[in-house]
Amino acid sequence: MRHQLPERDGTKAAGVTSCVRLDGAPKTTARAACSGRRLGMRVGVPGNRRSMAMRGVEEHPIGLRYCEDMVTVEEEAQLEGWLVTLDMEPVVMHGIPSRRQVGHFGVGYDYQAWTTSQADRIPRELLDLRVRAASIAAVQPSTFVEALVTRYPTGAGIGWHRDASAFGPIVVGVSLCADAVMRFQRQATGGERRVFEQPLARRSAYLLSGAARAAWQHSVPAVKQERWSVTFRQVRHAM
């Protein structure tokens, strides 16, 4: 493998609940910004950032957190140089290949049978990213047994879904190489549609837990520029 991010001590990172920068610089100089239930200064303000494209009542999904500057510009470039060397394949559902392409590490997933399997181990190029993902989730890095790499060519997106129930209650996704938006929807009691839009800046991460993971669906509309995401997930049952 040609590129490698510096190793970090996962045990130190675990338990950190605010955003961290890769080099461990203090938040004041890192410009890292987190939002979510506790730090919700960027999102969840009713009437603010309301998308004209989404109909419904805006509500911030409980369990959604968002952190900017998870990787530096240089690290993103290094990662991109490595990502483009990966063998990726489209997701085929009902015989139709998706425009987005995926690579599974640690755990594989069959989108037709909804089953997990063993896959190639998570490459060392992603281990430091996993530590950072674990730090915002306050879990041990090793609990993220799957790293899903997704390439979105220009114009590709992902439709409404919840992550498969085979995967655990915490999901962290890191966005690379292009900005995107993650949309959320759920049906409230009485059938009213609740919606939310979370801009995903390149180099940022989002955390889905609680209702954001279990009750809300999410989607990513077609991207305007090639984007990569690395999603770290747990599995519910030992394989």
Question: What residue ranges bind ligand AKG (CB under 6 A)?
Answer: 148, 150, 158, 163, 173, 175, 218, 220, 229, 231
C-alpha span between 88 and 86 (Å, rounded): 6
CB of 175 to ligand AKG, least distance (A): 6
Between residues 103 and 141, which has the closer beta carbon with respect to ligand AKG? 103
Phi, psi of 125 (to 5 degrees): -60, -20
Nearer CB in complex with ligand AKG: 131/158: 158
Q: Which is nearer to ligand AKG, 19 or 158 (CB)?
A: 158
> Measured between alpha carbons, how far is 143 from 55 in angstroms, rounded to an integer?
37
Contact 109, 115 (CB under 8 A): yes
> In the bound complex, what is the minimum distance in angstroms from residue 148's beta carbon to ligand AKG?
6
Complex with ligand AKG: residue 46 or 159, whichever CB lies closer: 159
For residue 30, count CB atoms less than 10 angstroms from its CB and return exposed for 0-12, middle for 13-18, buried for 19 or more.
Answer: middle
Q: Residue 30 or 201: which CB sits closer to ligand AKG? A: 201
What's the CA gap between 34 and 20, in Å, rounded? 9
Find the shortest distance in angstroms from Cβ 25 to ligand AKG: 25
Q: List strand residue ranges (DSSP E) for the chain, in order.
A: 34-35, 57-58, 64-67, 89-93, 96-105, 107-110, 115-118, 146-152, 158-161, 167-176, 180-187, 193-200, 205-208, 217-220, 227-235
Query: In whole angstroms, how large is the CA radius of gyration of the chain?
Result: 17
The least CB distance from residue 23 to ligand AKG, in Å, is 24
Smallest distance from ligand AKG to CB 202, Å: 11
Of all residues in this chain, which one has the CB nearest to ligand AKG in the complex?
A: 229
